[in-house]
Structure 1
């Protein structure tokens, strides 16, 4: 097994207190997650607390979205930590963090990181389809959408 880590960063003019609630509540992910629009018939299930530690989100799509579960394992003023398990199109277990730090000039600096183990199949698959290249654009899109939504919330007051 080999490990991988993919990390992308962005900046938003929204303060951390506008960003963090969008991370801690999986219902809010529909507003900014880069994968939410992949499958119009995606089925979503929410379990546990409405937000924060122990909240759980399960999805299953008919087409591109695949299937899996996210469970909130860290929810604090610095962001969120998530245990991510994919069941389709292939099985994988990863750790995700989305960190929010106050920026020196105002606003927030955002960093989305995913780490995990790659078995033989994963290493072969990602030689043909580079994981970092595939996920980097999704992480960038998600961070940009997260920034837009946090800035909208900040403008509302």
Structure 2
């Protein structure tokens, strides 16, 4: 009986590990929202890391989080670092490209609770009625451990809700 259970468990584990190996090598999470404001009003909320406190979904998770700003004051070359509790971890963002008022590209490095390097893009698309469609995309590689984790929970489920909260906060800040 023990041999049958052990063999079944080994087959299950090998199958799980094999399935994880077939998962995609990268991920992409995307959310969007329409904001009743021109792109020129919304764009600075993203292009200037000092303004992220008004809308970022992670800012309220740790009131004692330490933040650093370096490089350019805003736009390409602006750098934002953070170190906080287990909910926010630590990391660094750098704006790598910025085209006013249509797009901001960010290199995102996580250090803790896990290491990861991702790319984030915010696009601002003016609409005919004067509103702006804001699209937030994060993309990154999936190493084997990430692939194994994705069998149980996807990156979309892990951070998609945070993106939705952040975009709702951005909408509230821009529509004031």
Aligned mates of 1:104, 1:9 — CA distance in 2: 17
Runs of 4 or more consecutive aligned structure 1 residues displaced over 4 Å after TM superposition: none
Q: Pick the structure with more helix per residue.
A: 2
Q: Does 1:98 align with 2:122?
A: yes
Aligned mates of 1:45, 1:15 — CA distance in 2: 29
Deviations, residues 37-76 of structure 1 (Å, cap 9, x unaligned)? 1111100000011101000000000231100000001112
Match of 2:97 in 1: 74
Deviations, residues 66-121 of structure 1 (Å, cap 9, x unaligned)? 00000001112212100000001100000000110101222100100000101011
Aligned mates of 1:34, 1:62 — CA distance in 2: 15
Match of 1:155 in 2: none
Deviation at 1:31, TM superposition (A): 0.6
Count of residue pairs brought into register by the alignment: 152
Task: Please tell me whether the aligned partners of residues 23 and 79 of structure 1 are also in contact (alpha carbons under 8 angstroms).
Answer: no
Match of 2:155 in 1: 131
- Which is worse superposed, 87-96 or 98-107? 98-107
Q: Does 1:42 align with 2:69?
A: no
TM-score, normalised with respect to structure 1: 0.93
Q: 2:142 aligns with which of 98, 118, 121?
A: 118
Aligned mates of 1:110, 1:139 — CA distance in 2: 11
Q: Supply the RMSD in Å over aligned alpha carbons.
A: 1.1
| Unaligned segments of structure 2, at least 5 residues | 1-23
Q: Does 1:58 align with 2:81?
A: yes
For 2:146, what is the secondary structure of its paired residue? helix
Task: Please tell me whether the aligned partners of residues 18 and 151 of structure 1 are also in contact (alpha carbons under 8 angstroms).
Answer: no
| Unaligned segments of structure 1, at least 5 residues | 153-157
